[in-house]
Amino acid sequence: MTGTMTAGFWKRLRLTLEMIKFEHSVFALPFAFTAALLAARESRYSPGELGWKFLWIVLAMVGARSAAMTYNRIVDADIDGRNPRTQERHLPKGALSTGFAWGFLGASALLFLVAARLLNPLCFYLAPVALAVVLIYSFTKRFTSFSHLILGFALGMSPAAAWIAISGSLDPRILWLTAAVMFWTAGFDIIYACQDFEFDQREGLFSVPRRFGIAGALWISRLLHAAMLACLLALGSSFALSWLSAAGIAAVGALLIYEHLLVKPHDLSRVNAAFFTVNGCVSMLFFFFWAADILLHRNA
């Protein structure tokens, strides 16, 4: 009996992690790590002192994202059930109970709060505000076309939070990275939302594709990604980084150009490649170049 219950729990946990696409936690983590390394350089930390800090940052981000994604799936279950693209998600088709999802959400939120407390007092005091932002996003497509930017801001908070986690205060310069992540996320979320153009029209949901059409939405996405690159240039300049960070920005720019070449107004068949594969590479490649720059010149 106990073995059956244990097996059932692990099965539901696996389904929950599939539902929230747990592996996509990688999108924002490299940007948070970059901010943490910048803060450590400014605070004269040695790399060996950062181990526990980085662990708590990872746990805090995983907890916050897991809570936000689970909440999104819960509140959108009815909408997802009417959308041909999403009707096979776990909650609409009954593969996972809402009760288990709520339990997982609570555990994820608790993990986030505990990790924030272990980082420093300011992180803990700000944690409920951050959690509120990432949860409120789930309702925004019901009343505003700016939902993509709100999602971007929810992810963009992570670099600022990581800076606070290391230094205990906020340096306004790191807000360039917050803005960069916000514009980047909003840009690729608009591309992804193009798939639901007709459904959003039918349901009366708000999105940039619904308001401006798919072709117009793709142009807005390009402008947002250009704004991301501008913010990264400003960030590198404000911290006086070397050619390595500039090379990282160039690599990110090349990937974003490739991402936009994959998607056409009348051919959205490669949206998943643009959304999942390219953006995962963007964050990892960015971190590779910037971490190398920061670590090689940490005494500058």
Q: How many Å apart are CA 61 and CA 67, to the nearest integer?
A: 10
Range of the domain at 276: 17-296
Output the pTM of the full model.
Answer: 0.94
User: How do residues 133-192 score in pLDDT, each as one tens digit?
Assistant: 999 999 999 999 999 999 999 999 999 999 999 999 999 999 999 999 999 999 999 999
Residue 119 lies in a domain: yes
- End-to-end Cα distance, the chain: 62
Is 294 a residue whose pLDDT tops 70?
yes
Is 300 a residue whose pLDDT tops 70?
no
Residue 8 lies in a domain: no
3-class SS of residue 265: coil
Residue 1 lies in a domain: no
Asked whether the beta carbons of 263 and 225 are under 8 A apart, the reply is no
Q: How many Å apart are CA 97 and CA 10, to the nearest integer?
A: 14
Query: How many domains is the chain partitioned into structurally?
Result: 1
H/E run at residue 183 = helix 175-193
Residue 12 lies in a domain: no
User: How do residues 31-64 score in pLDDT, each as one tens digit?
Assistant: 999 999 999 998 877 666 678 899 999 999 999 9
Residue 230 lies in a domain: yes
Domain CATH for 242 = 1.10.357.140
